[in-house]
Structure 1
Amino acid sequence: MKRYTKPIHLPKPLPSRSADSSLALINVVFLLLVFLLVSGTLRPSLPDAFEWAETTETKGEGQVRNTLVLTRTGDVWFEGAILEEAGVDDFLEGLGGGIDTLSVQVDRHAQMKDVARLAGTLRTAGIARLSFVTIEAENP
């Protein structure tokens, strides 16, 4: 009896691939993009035709979060809605009694009588330190 042999070709094993580190970088960049998109949309928008008041003073402190906005017409806004006179009092009560510092974003065309009226209202409500949020002037 005659035997016939046939060669068997086995495929070479593929070299193992190392973990690709660019996938982790893509994930981090994507999460950063999502964070920036979400954080940009959470802040309420300013009223239409709002122009920041300018200052030449470079030092100062204040925060933009949880601030009131004083427009050129003398309206007071908070989180995208106009606050009436009673609404300002409700806003201050909502902050709690321990708050004595507040920041206000001011329109550059706001009249001084409106600024003084708002400052007086806030002072009678117990706000001892009031900061006005402005931007630095381009050409002082």
Structure 2
Amino acid sequence: MMRLARPRAARERESTVTLINIVFLMLIFFLVAGTLTPPLDGEVTLISTTDAERSEPPGALFVTRDGALRVKGAEVDAAGFVAQRRAQSEAPDSETLEITVAADRDLPASRLVDIVGALKAAGASKISIITERAGQ
């Protein structure tokens, strides 16, 4: 008696469409997630702190090491920035105008105090300084 080999069942090919869909959805997710936060000003290196609450700097006023005030890459002055923020505010008549400042770590502290004073004089009621958390 002669034994014949059984023919092997044809293996079904796995579809790559599912994998392509997943990769495409991940690409869209990362494109959207990456554009939600505006990038930091390239000429500003943030001050480091060891214990601080995490906060993102959208709409922040950037201060370079030379003391130049910048918003989205364009130079501004303190009074002009406060007036612009007040105009963009949802309640322009409100007395509370919060401003976030991202200052370069090489900016002299006395210059930062002068800038904060100018912002207060222009009508800012609350000013927060943005720092980056130092590695521990």
TM-score by length of 1: 0.67
Aligned-pair Cα RMSD in Å: 3.0
1:63 and 1:45 map into 2 onto residues whose CA distance is 10
Matching residue of 1:128: 125
**3-state DSSP class of the match of 1:24?**
helix
**3-state DSSP class of the match of 2:70?**
strand
1:68 and 1:44 map into 2 onto residues whose CA distance is 13
Matching residue of 2:104: 107
Identity %: 18
Deviates more, 1:109-118 or 1:72-81: 109-118
Q: State the shift of 1:122 in Å.
A: 2.0
Work out which of the residue numbers 42, 46, 54 in structure 1 matches 2:41: 46
Work out which of the residue numbers 21, 24, 41 in structure 2 matches 1:24: 21
Matching residue of 1:91: 84
Q: State the shift of 1:62 in Å.
A: 3.9
**Gap regions ≥5 residues in structure 2:** 1-11
Matching residue of 2:134: 137
**3-state DSSP class of the match of 2:21?**
helix
2:15 and 2:62 map into 1 onto residues whose CA distance is 55
Report which of the two structures shows the higher radius of gyration computed on alpha carbons.
1
Matching residue of 2:4: none
Q: Is the 8 A contact 2:78 2:115 kept in 1?
A: no
**Gap regions ≥5 residues in structure 1:** 1-14
Say if 2:57 is the partner of 1:64: yes
Work out which of the residue numbers 51, 72, 79 in structure 2 matches 1:79: 72
TM-score by length of 2: 0.68
**3-state DSSP class of the match of 1:134?**
strand
Number of aligned residue pairs: give it: 120
Q: Is the 8 A contact 2:62 2:103 kept in 1?
A: yes
Q: State the shift of 1:77 in Å.
A: 0.6
Q: Is the 8 A contact 1:101 1:128 kept in 2?
A: yes
Q: Is the 8 A contact 1:62 1:103 kept in 2?
A: no
Q: State the shift of 1:29 in Å.
A: 1.8
